Amino acid sequence: MATAVASPVVNSAILSGSGRSDLFQDLQIDQPLSSKASGMAIVLPRQKRDQGYPEPNVRVEILLPAYAPNPRPAKVLFGGLQDPDLQVIRPIPLDVCVEESAVVVSWAEADEFGTGENLSCALDDFSHAVRELYHHLHASDTTPGADLLRVKQILGKYIEPRTK
Partner 1 sequence: MADAPIPSVVAMLVCDQVIAEQGTNKKSLIGVFEVFNAFGFPVFIPRIAIYVKLADAFGKYRFKLRLVRLKNESLVAEINVEAEVKDSAHYTELMLNMGNLPFPEAGKYEFQLYAGDVYLHRVTVQALLAPLPPGGGQLWQPPSHHQ
Q: Which is nearer to partner 1, 46 or 149 (CB)?
A: 46
Residue 96 to residue 90: CA distance in whole angstroms:
19
User: In sequence order, which residues have a C-beta less than 8 Å from that of residue 117 and are 6 or more positions away?
Assistant: 101, 102, 103
Q: At closest approach, how far in Å is the CB of 129 from partner 1? A: 16
CA dist 86 and 135 (Å) reads 10
What is the smallest separation between the CB atom of 95 and partner 1, expressed in angstroms? Answer: 14
Smallest distance from partner 1 to CB 52, Å: 7
Q: Considering beta carbons, is residue 86 or 110 the nearer one to partner 1?
A: 86
Q: For the CB of residue 141, give the shortest distance to partner 1 in the complex, in Å.
A: 28
**112 within 8 A of 122, measured Cβ to Cβ:** no
109: number of Cβ within 10 Å: 14
Distances in Å between the alpha carbon of 39 and those of 21, 29, 35, 36, 45?
28, 18, 5, 5, 17
CB nearer partner 1, residue 52 or residue 145? 52
User: Residues interacting with partner 1, by CB under 8 A?
Assistant: 1-6, 8-19, 23-24, 27, 47, 51-54, 57-63, 65, 68, 70-72, 76-82, 87-91, 118-120, 123, 162
Q: Please, which residue, 11 or 142, has the CB nearer to partner 1?
A: 11
